[in-house]
Amino acid sequence: MTWPIPTPEEQVQFLRNIQRLLAEGLFVASYKFALVHALADLAVLKGEDTGAPLDLETKDIAAKFVELYWRQSRPFQIGGETTGLILQQNTGKQAAIISQIAQSQQECGGSLFRLKQTASDRWSALVAEVDQVVRTMPLWKLQTVGNEPLEFLYENLGRGNRITLKPGVAYCFRAFYELVRDLIEGAWVRFVQKLNANKLGNVTDLGTFLFGQERASLDAYRPILLEVQKGICLYCQKPLSKQSQVDHFVPWSRYPADLGHNFILAHDKCNNAKSDFLAAENHLAAWIERNREHQVELQDRLVAAALPCDLTASIQIAKWVYQQTEKANGQVWVMEKVLRHLGPDWTKCFAA
């Protein structure tokens, strides 16, 4: 069966509906934000650019919840200093998921990846607990605005451990991922700010704490990348000097994930010139080749250093971002200040 892609009108309607959910939905906890965020993330990771419906298991949604709330369940920090305060995410007593995650962090330390790798029983138990909350709290309540149903994402079955995104929904999440993510994260920050106003005063970098990346940990990747890149800059292919930077190949601004294979080592000036652009086809080929040639070594060393990695997910994300950029007639970075429009040939890099 072929599924037609949504018409332009249907795509605009999807965005209007997302806006309505955020503007008119009643939010007592931040779960609904997390739910829409998780659905968008999963559409990128598991969906296709057709109008096809997408089956999702609630345990996959729960795993995304844990990832989203992991940072947020730690004591709030201002300028690197902890305040000891765990931010309130619910109007009443603390949201159950935050307490469950905070408990796991106390037992297993702060690394989510380590929890998945070395305490897989604890990880599965945590996902099961969160899954229970997802299925009783936000899943069947999300698509109600005021007291009207707005059932545009999936059918409200009211029970069970799976949902099916309606035809066209995964397509729209993939097409408007960055836009939707910004809408959700902005609304989520305002919600948490309001709930914690008396304790936060006029703290302004709440968004960084809730959704930012953890810069501090990037140095751990350096020796590993230096070796698999044989001391060569991924972008200009010249020997690296002391002035080098570890950075995301698919920019954090396009898809926020710290996954080992997505990191590259490049000269300061190459990396600064690339900035938040997507890299051109020759760089994409170099990145794919590096990951392919050193697949086993890279995987082993990342795992040994307790650094998060998932090659399949990294490739899915890269394919998605190049596909969307080509469709949008977007530009990619070649070198220095040179940009050009992305043509269809990028797909060959993955086929090789």
Longest dimension (CA), the chain: 62
The one-letter amino acid at 19:
Q
Nearer to Zn ion, 41 or 247 (CB): 247
Q: With CB under 5 A as the contact rule, which of the stretches 201-209, 247-255, 270-278, 328-336 interacts with Zn ion?
A: 270-278
Which of residues 261, 267, 274, 283 is near Zn ion by CB under 5 A? Answer: 267
Residue listed under structure tokens 């697949």? 295
Sign of the alpha-carbon dihedral angle for 1, 320, 175, 184:
positive
Which of residues 45, 270, 321, 334 is near Zn ion by CB under 5 A? Answer: 270
Least gap, CB of 321 to Zn ion (angstroms): 22
Contacts of 308 (CB under 8 A, 6+ apart): 112, 113, 258, 259, 260, 302
Nearer to Zn ion, 52 or 234 (CB): 234
Q: Distance between the two ends of the chain, CA-based, in angstroms?
A: 29
Least gap, CB of 309 to Zn ion (angstroms): 24
Least gap, CB of 218 to Zn ion (angstroms): 17
Site residues for Zn ion, 225-244, by CB under 5 A, read 233, 235-236
Nearer to Zn ion, 59 or 222 (CB): 222
DSSP bridge partners of 278: 332
Site residues for Zn ion, 141-180, by CB under 5 A, read none
Nearer to Zn ion, 102 or 228 (CB): 228
Three-class SS string for 126-143?
HHHHHHHHHHHCCCCCCC
Residues 70/38, Cβ–Cβ less than 8 Å? no
Q: With CB under 5 A as the contact rule, which of the stretches 19-27, 82-90, 269-277, 338-346 interacts with Zn ion?
A: 269-277
The binding site for Zn ion (CB under 5 A) comprises 233, 235-236, 267, 270
